[in-house]
Structure 1
Amino acid sequence: MVLYTLYDLIENNLPDRADKTALVLGDAELTYGELARRAEALAAWLHERGIRRGDRVAVHLHKSIEEVVVTFAVARLGAIIVNVSYQRSVPQLEHILHDCQVKLLFTDRRRAMLAEKAGALRAIEALVVLGRPDGLANATGWDDLPRSGEAPASRPVDADLASLHYTSGSTGMPKGVMTTHLNLLDGTHRVADYLHNCAEDRILGLVSLSAPWGLLQVTTMFLRGGTVVLQPVAIPSEIVATINAKQVTGMAAFPVSWIEIVAYLQQEPARMPSLRYITSSGGKIPLPTLEALPRVLPGVNIYLTYGLTEAFRSTVLPPERFHDKMGSLGRPCRNVDVFIIEPVKGVCGPGEQGELVHRGTLVTKGYWGDPDTTAKSFRTCEALRPLIGDEIVHYSGDIVRIDDEGFLWFVERADSVIKCSGYRVSPTEVEDIVQRSGLANHVVAFGVEDDTLGQVVHIAVSAEGRAVDLAGLTQYCRQNMPTFMVPQTIHVWEGAMPIAGTGKVDRRAVIETCLLNDRK
């Protein structure tokens, strides 16, 4: 069977794997056949409520089986799923619902009550609530939905939008990245290929489905006929317990989670014999954490990957090169073109650095309702015109360098460089040095305007449960950094740093809080 849309992933399993477990959450399990029946019944109900091809339907739930059912019911109709991370605030939820004209929202009673009280639900036509619907306008309870039904035939094509993934930029409210069925299926094949996924795999579903990478954990398993073990709790001890109890074979997580998991396993070593591989994306893992991973997870294959919401899963560092290329972004995946572009030189070669540019079916369609912002990142490339003509490519905003073997290395964000005393300072380099001290778990470095020096370096640090040794950290920085790089101010963040809807540290929230505290 040729796969064109997300829903084809479920249908492809029905002839031979209808009784195979597709989803696990705690003691609950759902087979491929049961998932197809639930998604079909929900699609029929949605069609009765007027949802058609291209309409936007939002889901705003904790990680759950219902979240997956909604996703594939929407895909069955050719409508567009908008998964709003449960970590988003009510104002952000309101912005997203209004921005893409969502017709119907799935959420729980608690969040629905908060949103309605704030007037955030005025933009939608209907609401489905996990829990009691009473007291909410135009609301239907999840338990009141029909358990059977057949939706009319729908003929979406692979070029149709399948999902909108809202991502926070450096300024303003979240913007919706337009992702097609082809984008998602292409990424699914690519990830399943380099991870060597198979029907026997049981993958931990930790990453939020609001991020393409989180959705790919589900789609890769459905492509191979494997099982997704949903993990709504990100506490390291709970993750280890689930891996062992459910015989998990693979796990994906963002760096913020790997930092915490490694720290936990260093204090509480645990065997996880079923675990075959782990994979990371969404940022740079600090060197001390990278060095510790093979010690706390002996015999486990480690895949470091790179990708963006706008162009996901573009490079991979395979396990056999983890030690000699530790920290690298890897090399391009199959069916992906990447180029390092410098405005003056053009295409960069070994030893040179420039902005990472993506080409291929991984490149999404830009930002919903925002052609001006789209045109800044999705555009033609003069340096590539002899090769690809006027084809649209994606400019990542990430400065990388390429070594003589073709491996890529992250340098900095193009828009975050700190300019101090005439020197360019990379926040990433500052963060790496601070984390090597062992005195902080999470670090955010940023520049603050200064009348004399242009900008000075500030850092926010969190030790999570430990007191921050300010004197020791200051001394370490002075011993290991040039004078212009040494942080002028160290902001101690009490407790865990906030996490953005993407599952990564919310850098903007951390920086804004530090600057606000400075003004008080």
Structure 2
Amino acid sequence: MTPLAMTLHDLLADNLPARADAPAIIEPDRTVTYAALMAEAAGVAGWLAARGVARGDRVIVHLRKSASEVAAMMGAARIGAVVVNVNAQWTADQLGYVIADSQAAAVLTGPAQAARLDPGAPPVLLRGPQGWADAGPPPPPAPVLDSDLAMILYTSGSTGRPKGVMLTHHNVLTGARAVSRYLGLSPDDRLVSVLPYSFDYGLNQLTTMLLLGGTVIHQPVPMAAEIVATVNRHGATGLACVPPLWGQVVRHLADNPTPMPTLRRVTNTGGKIPDPILALMPQVFPGVAIHLMYGLTEAFRSTHLPPALFAAKRGAIGRAIPGADIRVLRPDGTLAGPGEEGELIHAGPLVSPGYWRSPEQTAEKFRPCPALGGVRVVHSGDTVRMDADGDLWFVGRRDAMIKTMGFRLSPEEVEEHAYASGLVADAVAWGVDDDALGQAVHLAVSPRDGYSEAALVAHFRAHAAHYMIPRRIHAWDGPMPRISSGKLDRKSVAAASTPKDGAPDDPR
């Protein structure tokens, strides 16, 4: 097997020859063995090497979810290049920015995407229906240190320009080993992959299965009914989603109960699942282990709540995973204790070296922590609460906190009440400056059957503190927009919904 892997490319190469004929990737129209995946990756490496791409050069991978996307990443890793996976849904402007910012030496993409590139773009290897256009003979794997950069993951950049989070080979492999350990993964696991590989949560599904010689099942259509069908069609043992997608999957299963006998575990990160959805999960996934997790791209993976604690601590994010040092800081910079809130900080081998070509932003986010004797930590910007047992509960983003009527309120608290009403599918809350209140609470919702604003307001009046009741409710027509990871695009929803005409808030 592959427990001795030292680099990203080792994760694939160490499966040969023992698992050459085992399925590495299952797609709707084909199954790709480890041997075939290795051969395709070697051809990509040959093309890159023939054009002078070398250790440390950045290589863009801009492809839809596919075995060829995985082969492209592994081909670049074979020659010691730094993989820059750009989500296939990103615009030409975003792609162009990443090519320029990363100073890419080559682009691995498809014909449609290539047509959008500027004339001065780096060399392009095209992947069409028949395969790579001009792959070449493979070079030997480059001598790479685990301290070398393996990948740069660019944040979605919903406002401003994306930031490139640098990950070393050691970061990536430590994350794969840690997650494999606490989830209890094994070579016979088959994980459904819905999330993009440009997102650390989605990437970790791939790296854990390559580490163990397991199988990744690509699910290109993120629709609840299709995901459930894929689980049963291919005997999947694991499913990972972000909260908005979990809402769709759980509601679908509640309305259409479907046994999934092979499913062993489901996992969540990327935000807090609304409590009404959490409450339904044991019913729609009977006998399935439910793992609640928290992660940060800059620290790759962070905390985990064991399934045995799900019923007692539904909604908690748990404690540090193996290899992570997680602490909570009070506003004065001292360590918080049980019953206190503070900012979540991360230390240890999972923490990124920083942001690509952004020393100022790196110094702002990554800095020594006096409370830990000067150890370098990454500040999450997230507020959490530690309970009496030492388990953590997510409260909200520090920069998104709403200050209204003298109270500090997280948007998630408002959204939880909206979800608890059963009247909305998605909800996004934010604060709008107000002379009398400091900030007024605004709420955008995607209505479900039976929705009315009056009914939603009545629910808030019956169940929420007075300062949580939204002053304006905006009904969103259709599905709310998502960023590339599948999370709700909160900033876009707030920007599109906030009145531009100075209309007064409705004092409820």
Which bracket does the TM-score occupy, shorter chain normalised?
A: over 0.9
Task: Report deviation, 1:111.
Answer: 3.1
Indicate the residue corresponding to 1:216 in structure 2: 204
Secondary structure class of the residue paired with 2:76 = helix
Query: What is the letter of the counterpart of residue 50 of structure 2?
Result: E
The change in CA–CA distance for 1:454 and 1:154 in structure 2 (over 3 A counts) is same
The change in CA–CA distance for 1:155 and 1:456 in structure 2 (over 3 A counts) is same
Distance (whole Å) between structure 2 residues aligned to residue 122 and residue 182 of structure 1: 36
Which aligned pairs between 1:282-301 and structure 2 lie closer than 5 A?
A: 282-301=270-289
Q: Does the alignment pair 1:401 with 2:385?
A: yes
Q: Does the alignment pair 1:265 with 2:253?
A: yes
- Greater shift after overlay, 327-336 or 471-480? 471-480
Which aligned pairs between 1:430-469 and structure 2 lie closer than 5 A?
A: 430-463=414-447, 466=449, 468-469=451-452
Indicate the residue corresponding to 2:134 in structure 1: 145
Secondary structure class of the residue paired with 1:85 = coil
Matched positions, count: 501
Query: What is the letter of the counterpart of residue 447 of structure 2?
Result: A
Task: Report deviation, 1:186.
Answer: 0.3
> Which of the numbers 195, 200, 206 marks the counterpart of 1:207?
195
Q: Does the alignment pair 1:490 with 2:473?
A: yes
Task: Report deviation, 1:297.
Answer: 1.0
* Contact 1:497–1:505, Cα closer than 8 Å, also in 2: yes
Query: What is the letter of the counterpart of residue 40 of structure 1?
Result: A
Indicate the residue corresponding to 1:507 in structure 2: 490
CA offset digits 1:256-291 (Å, max 9, x no partner): 110000111111111111111110100000000000
Which aligned pairs between 1:363-402 and structure 2 lie closer than 5 A?
A: 363-385=351-373, 390-402=374-386
Which aligned pairs between 1:311-390 and structure 2 lie closer than 5 A?
A: 311-344=299-332, 346-385=334-373, 390=374
* Contact 2:126–2:133, Cα closer than 8 Å, also in 1: no
Distance (whole Å) between structure 2 residues aligned to residue 516 and residue 217 of structure 1: 41
Task: Report deviation, 1:431.
Answer: 0.8
Task: Report deviation, 1:421.
Answer: 2.1
Task: Report deviation, 1:122.
Answer: 4.6
Distance (whole Å) between structure 2 residues aligned to residue 35 and residue 518 of structure 1: 56
The change in CA–CA distance for 1:460 and 1:12 in structure 2 (over 3 A counts) is same
CA offset digits 1:450-498 (Å, max 9, x no partner): 122221010111136x464111112212222223221111111111111
CA offset digits 1:21-54 (Å, max 9, x no partner): 1111013111111111111121011110121111
Using structure 1 for the length normalisation, give the TM-score.
Answer: 0.93
Secondary structure class of the residue paired with 1:13 = coil
Task: Report deviation, 1:172.
Answer: 1.2
The change in CA–CA distance for 1:123 and 1:165 in structure 2 (over 3 A counts) is farther
Q: Does the alignment pair 1:129 with 2:126?
A: yes
* Contact 2:125–2:133, Cα closer than 8 Å, also in 1: no
> Which of the numbers 70, 78, 83 marks the counterpart of 1:81?
83
The change in CA–CA distance for 1:31 and 1:345 in structure 2 (over 3 A counts) is closer
Indicate the residue corresponding to 2:53 in structure 1: 51
Secondary structure class of the residue paired with 2:337 = coil
Which aligned pairs between 1:108-123 and structure 2 lie closer than 5 A?
A: 108-113=110-115, 115-116=116-117, 121-122=118-119
Distance (whole Å) between structure 1 residues aligned to residue 437 and residue 109 of structure 2: 49
Distance (whole Å) between structure 2 residues aligned to residue 320 and residue 248 of structure 1: 22
- Structure 1 gaps of 5+ residues are 133-140
The change in CA–CA distance for 1:518 and 1:105 in structure 2 (over 3 A counts) is farther
* Contact 1:284–1:327, Cα closer than 8 Å, also in 2: yes
Indicate the residue corresponding to 1:163 in structure 2: 151
Task: Report deviation, 1:15.
Answer: 3.0
Query: What is the letter of the counterpart of residue 109 of structure 1?
Result: P
Distance (whole Å) between structure 2 residues aligned to residue 35 and residue 342 of structure 1: 48
CA offset digits 1:187-229 (Å, max 9, x no partner): 0001111111111111111111001111111111111111111
* Contact 1:41–1:151, Cα closer than 8 Å, also in 2: no
CA offset digits 1:353-392 (Å, max 9, x no partner): 111110101101111111111111100111111xxxx331
Secondary structure class of the residue paired with 1:461 = strand
Query: What is the letter of the counterpart of residue 145 of structure 1?
Result: D
Which aligned pairs between 1:63-102 and structure 2 lie closer than 5 A?
A: 63-102=65-104
The change in CA–CA distance for 1:161 and 1:516 in structure 2 (over 3 A counts) is farther
Query: What is the letter of the counterpart of residue 61 of structure 1?
Result: L
The change in CA–CA distance for 1:293 and 1:143 in structure 2 (over 3 A counts) is same
Indicate the residue corresponding to 1:480 in structure 2: 463
Secondary structure class of the residue paired with 2:496 = helix
* Contact 1:250–1:277, Cα closer than 8 Å, also in 2: yes
The change in CA–CA distance for 1:15 and 1:110 in structure 2 (over 3 A counts) is closer
Task: Report deviation, 1:404.
Answer: 1.8
Indicate the residue corresponding to 2:506 in structure 1: none
Query: What is the letter of the counterpart of residue 443 of structure 2?
Result: I
Secondary structure class of the residue paired with 1:17 = coil
The change in CA–CA distance for 1:76 and 1:517 in structure 2 (over 3 A counts) is farther
> Which of the numbers 271, 292, 303 marks the counterpart of 2:291?
303
Distance (whole Å) between structure 1 residues aligned to residue 235 and residue 158 of structure 2: 40
Query: What is the letter of the counterpart of residue 6 of structure 2?
Result: Y
Indicate the residue corresponding to 1:136 in structure 2: none
Distance (whole Å) between structure 2 residues aligned to residue 220 and residue 519 of structure 1: 51
Task: Report deviation, 1:516.
Answer: 6.4
Q: Does the alignment pair 1:251 with 2:253?
A: no
Distance (whole Å) between structure 2 residues aligned to residue 384 and residue 85 of structure 1: 37
Distance (whole Å) between structure 1 residues aligned to residue 103 and residue 333 of structure 2: 43
Distance (whole Å) between structure 2 residues aligned to residue 30 and residue 518 of structure 1: 56
Distance (whole Å) between structure 2 residues aligned to residue 122 and residue 404 of structure 1: 60
CA offset digits 1:66-95 (Å, max 9, x no partner): 101001011111111111112222222222
* Contact 1:87–1:500, Cα closer than 8 Å, also in 2: no
Distance (whole Å) between structure 1 residues aligned to residue 274 and residue 460 of structure 2: 16
Distance (whole Å) between structure 2 residues aligned to residue 250 and residue 429 of structure 1: 30
Task: Report deviation, 1:171.
Answer: 4.2
Secondary structure class of the residue paired with 1:14 = coil
* Contact 2:272–2:315, Cα closer than 8 Å, also in 1: yes
Secondary structure class of the residue paired with 1:208 = coil
Q: Does the alignment pair 1:197 with 2:185?
A: yes
The change in CA–CA distance for 1:90 and 1:82 in structure 2 (over 3 A counts) is same
Secondary structure class of the residue paired with 2:161 = coil
Distance (whole Å) between structure 2 residues aligned to residue 259 and residue 243 of structure 1: 17
The change in CA–CA distance for 1:170 and 1:449 in structure 2 (over 3 A counts) is farther
Distance (whole Å) between structure 1 residues aligned to residue 22 and residue 501 of structure 2: 56
